[in-house]
Structure formats: C-alpha cells, structure tokens
Chains A and B, each alone.
Chain A
Amino acid sequence: MNRKWKHHAEAYLYISPSVILTVALGIYPILWALRYMFYDYKGYGEATFVGLYNFRRLFRDEYLWDAIWNTFVFAGGKMLLTLPVALLLAVILNGKLKGRNLLRGIYFMPTIFSTAVMAVVFYIIFNTYNGLLNQLLKLAGLPTLEWLGTEYAMLTCILIAAWGGIGNYMLLFLAGLQGIPKDVYESAELDGATGARRFWSITIPMLGPVLNIIMMLAIMSALESYEAIMVLTGGGPSGATEVMHLYLYKLLFPVSTGESMAQDIGYGSAVAMLLALIVGAITGIYLYLSRKLNDVHS
C-alpha cells in the first residue's frame, strides 16, 4: 500500500508542472469566458450580470457576420490555392528526382519565418505606392494593381497565406505518401496504368485517412488565422479583410491596433464562444461527410 502511494505521488509530482500550467493557461480561461459571456464587463470597474444580452447582440452585429463571411472566403481561397499545389509538389517529390532534397528545403523554407515579420515584408512588397511588386510590374511593362485596395486586399491576404502554408502541407502530404507501399504502384504500372490513373486510383484513396487529418488541420488553421492580416491590413480597407478572430482581438485589445473601438470583454467572451462553436461545427461536419464518403468507397 505504502509503495503504491509513493508510486502515485511520484507520478503526480511529475505531471504537476504540466497540469498546473494547462489548468491556469488553458482551462481557467475557458471557464472565465463561460462566466463573463453573461456579463457586461468593459475591463475596468464592476461587471454586471446581463443574462443573454450578449448573445442577442451577436445576432444583431452585422460587422461580426461580415467578418465571419470574410473568414470563409479567406479560408476557402487559402485551401483551394494551397492544398492542390502542395499535393502536386508532394507527389512529384515523392518520386525519383534530381535535387529532390534541395527543392523540398526551398518549398518548406517560408514556414520557418514569423508570420508577423513576413507580413511587414509583404506590406512593403504589396504596397500600392512604391511597393516592390508594382515596381517589378512596371519594370516588366505590365499594369500595376492596388494590391491592398478594397478590391484586391483579400486576394493579397490569400496569396500571402498560401505562400506561408504550401511548404507545410507539402511535407504533411509527403509523410502520408511515404506510407503507401511502393509495390502497389509497381503492379499498377505493369498493368499499364497511366500517371493520372495511378494518382486518382491509388494515391488519393490510399492517402484517405491521412488526407482527412490534413484537411482538418487545414480547415482549423485557416479559420483561426489572423496574425498576418492584422499586421498587413489591420482588417481594412473599410473591413474588406476583417476576419473573425481579428475582430475578436479588437474587442479584447483595441488599444494596440489604434482602433476606435472600446474594450468589451463580456461581449468578446460571447464572440469567442461562437467562433469556437463555428470552427468545431465545421470540422465536425467535415469529419462526418468524409466518413460517409469513405464508407461509399469501401
């Protein structure tokens, strides 16, 4: 009995730093938000209980729903651009190829740099007046674009997100591809299957489970990213690139972005809860649909 107790005590001692940090910085904030979403709390003074007021406000907040819509556009655009390119690169690099490691190193490189730092660099590149990209376009005799204007700002944000994401997903796809046994391809080749046929009939189905995990990661990270946009456009011009988590940031820490909004923690808590639910629901629906699709195939 005594020995068992010592065994447990040791285990608790070892996990305690991790558990204390997880509770304090992970679980406590969730409980905190669950409380404050029912309060009117501006970050100073007393918090007053307002019941479901913050939730009623959610539905009236058109700016929030615009931001949610922008997030879908951003996430959809980023995934449409990133995933096919990343998969194609992975499939090519999975074969025998000269300079394979060097190319892999180059494609992955953008992912090692800070999103915020790169957003500063991209600001200088995409700036409409004297931006480096427009300078290059001028030198080449091509028309210039207002990359950060209302019309193209979202496209620019998507391009930048794809720039930072392609290498990461390429590597994840490569990991999945390496799990497919080589002899499957060899026998298909003997049977005369072409490259495209091999891709659709072997690569995609056999990538299945890994593909699901990658898609889930891609959905979650695309819906939750805002750092690059915050530094690049701050959500502007006139809300064109306002994504939902950036809006949440402004509700909670308005000072740092020079926003004229007032800090609103009670409402921010309700917004955070809604956003977590949206991301959870979308990944849940995706998993459900993909499982159904898998059932059809097998």
Chain B
Amino acid sequence: MKRMTGRLLMWAFLLTAAALLLLPIGLAVLGSLKTNQELTAGTAILPQAWQFDNYGYTWKEAKFSVYVWNSVIYSVGATLTTLAVCALAAYAAARKTFPGRKLMLAVYSAMMFIHMGVLTLKPAYQLMVELGLHKSVFGLIIMMTGAGGTTFFILYAFIRGISRDLDEAAMIDGAGSFYIFSRIILPLCTPALGVVALFAFRGAWNNYILPLVFTMSQPDLQPLTVGLANIRYGFGGAVQSHLMLAGACISMIPMLLIYVLANKSFVQMNVGALKG
C-alpha cells in the first residue's frame, strides 16, 4: 500500500513537471494560430478558426523571411568556422609538442572563468569597425565563432583518446601532418564533431545579445532573435501578440526538428560538457 502511494506521488510529480515545462510551448503554438482579438479576449483555449495565415503574414510583411535567412547564414557559418578553428587547434595541442603549449591550455581554461559580460563586445565591435567588417555578414560570423572554450576542450580530450598508433603508422608511410589530421583524426572524431556542431549551432541560432549589438543600425542583417524581440515593442502601431507568437514558433521549429532527429547527441553534448 505504501509502495503504491509512493509510485503514485512519483508519477504525479513527473507528469506535473512535464506539463508545466510543455505549457508555454503549447500556449505559444495555439496562440500563434488565433486572431489577435481572440488572443486578447482569451475565452477559449483552442482557436475558433485556425489562422494559418498568421505565418504567411509574419513571413512576408514582418520580414521574417529575411530574419530566417540571416539566422541560417550565421548559424551554419559560425558552426563551420567553430569546428574548423577548434579542430585544428585541438589536434595541434593534443598531438604536437611546441613551446607555449602549456601556456595556451592554461589561458584557454582560465578564459572559461573570466567573464566580463557584454563589455567584451565594445572593443570587439571597434575592432570590426577598423577592419571594415562591422556591416558585413562575415564580421558577425567571425564574432560568433567559438575559438576556444568547451568546444576546444571536448575535441582536445577526444583526440587525446585516439590511439597514436594510427598517426605513427601513417607517418612512417610518409604522410604529412595535415594528411593525418584530415584523413585519420577528423573521421575518427565524427561523433565528437557531431555533438560539438549541435552545441555551436544551438548557440548561434539562439544568440541574441551579440547580433543585437552588431546590427543595431542594420535591420537587414538582423537574425530571428533580434527581429522578434524588436517587434515586442510593436510594429505598425499596435502590439500584435498573435504575430509575435507566430514569429517565435518560426524560430522554434528548426531547433525542434533538429532536437527530435538528434536527441541522442544532445544528451551526450551535456555529458561531454561536464567531463570536458
């Protein structure tokens, strides 16, 4: 009897937690399919007539096609640069000995604990102005590239776990170090690269502060997060909650698809972050 109540309590807890965590997403999806009047009146939970037009309107009139396109470019671009930059550095740090290697590792780990918040964006922005990159897509991709941090350390730990026999055999056969990196190490790193790529993609897709600061005067370069938060202050006069929710759903759908497809890797990602 006592066991039964225990199990009942446990399931009550599990299901309440699940319901509360899903509720905001459910409300957002349902709200995005209502008219604005319906949404503000709030007389029923389900829409009276499903307003799929909200998405079309948001896509065209509220410029979400531009925002989505920008978000895709930044996320894909930053994921690729992050992977390339970190994989190369992790390979060199894990496989080669060179003066300054220890210093590099020490500085990289210290950087994970020194946070100046948004302050770092000010000098970085001025740097981009001097390089003439502050009004370009490339400047944003460079800024969003994670050059060290968790990505570097996960790949570093992973490459150190790969047996050196393979490199040495290839070296005896006369392979150069870039050949070893690209043909032996990288293919063996695929699982770690997948996890890190998800990590980087999520970070870039959801990034808000950095593109906000960089695209303040260039609305055409704004990604989804910035575009959406801007219409919170109302566009075309009135606040249009239903369109804001449609915009939020447009931002959530790609991440949701990736999550469903790559659920396992997502779970590994956080485990890796803890151990790395």
Contact = CB atoms under 8 A, between A and B. Distances in A.
Interface of A: 7-8, 10-12, 14-15, 17-19, 21-22, 24-30, 32-33, 85, 88-89, 92, 103-110, 112-125, 130, 132, 135-136, 138-139, 163, 166-168, 171-172, 174-176, 195, 210, 213-214, 220, 224, 226-227, 231, 245, 248-249, 252-253, 255-256, 258, 265, 268-269, 272-273, 275-276, 279-280, 283
B147 A18 contact: yes
Top 6 A-B residue pairs of the complex, sorted by shortest distance between their CB atoms: A135-B42, A114-B206, A21-B147, A18-B89, A116-B208, A14-B92
A33 B245 contact: no
Contacts of A85: 17
A268 B119 contact: yes
Interface stretch (B54-62, B108-116, B161-169, B189-197): B108-116
Contacts of B14: 89, 92, 103
B74 interface: no
Given A109-B22, A119-B229, 11 more contacts: A10-B178, A14-B88, A18-B89, A26-B148, A107-B17, A109-B21, A124-B28, A139-B45, A224-B117, A231-B232, A283-B113
B251 interface: yes
Contacts of A124: 28, 31, 39, 241, 244-245
A32 B178 CA distance: 36
A255 B12 CA distance: 47
A172 B275 CA distance: 10
A120 B115 contact: no
B120 A120 contact: no
Contacts of B274: 172, 175-176, 210, 213-214
Contacts of A195: 6
Interface in B33-88: 39-42, 45, 84-86, 88
A120 B251 CA distance: 12
B263 interface: yes
B197 to A, nearest CB: 14
A19 B104 contact: yes
A275 B275 contact: no
A132 B245 CA distance: 12
A22 to B, nearest CB: 5
Given A92-B14, A256-B213, A33 B119 contact: yes
Contacts of B267: 104, 108, 171
B183 to A, nearest CB: 15
Contact of B113 (A132, A163, A245, A280): A280
A19 B89 contact: yes
What is the size category of the interface that chain B forms with chain A? 35 or more
Interface in B89-114: 89, 91-93, 96-99, 101, 104, 107-108, 111, 113-114
Contacts of B232: 120, 123, 231
Contacts of A12: 98
A109 B28 CA distance: 15
Contact of A18 (B99, B148, B202): B148
B208 A18 contact: no
A130 B121 CA distance: 37
Contact of A21 (B41, B85, B101, B207): B85
B152 interface: yes
B98 A103 contact: no
Given A28-B123, A255-B216, A171 B271 contact: yes
B129 interface: no
